[in-house]
Amino acid sequence: MDMSIEEFIANEVKSNDVVLFMKGTPQFPQCGFSGQVVQILDHLGVGYKGLNVLESAELRNGIKTFSNWPTIPQLYVKGEFVGGCDIVREMFQAGELQQLLSEKGVAVAA
């Protein structure tokens, strides 16, 4: 039996500490906003799973419904929706993203 897209997303979010739903891959982001979030996560040395929404219209639409958030990328930490590019960037600049990651027990290099 196939999982529904909601079950797939919920499972990915639960089974990985940090998940980025993005356009493209962490190695080859295919939109500037996804690229910015990748740069921030890489800068912090955070291990994360990138899921390419361009490979599946079902995933692309499903994640927007799942989070009730209209845009990609979307960052999840320990099952909790953090936000999109602007939110992640603002949190990073304010030191809040680093704080959130450490509170959630996610290892950062920096």
Binding residue positions for [2Fe-2S] cluster: 31
SS3 of 83, please?
strand
| Cis peptide upstream of residue 29 (ω within 30 degrees of 0) | no
- Of 44, 55, 80, 12, the C-alpha closest to 36 is 44
List, as residue ranges, the binding site.
31
Phi/psi for 52 (5° steps) reads -85, 110
CA distance 3 to 8: 6
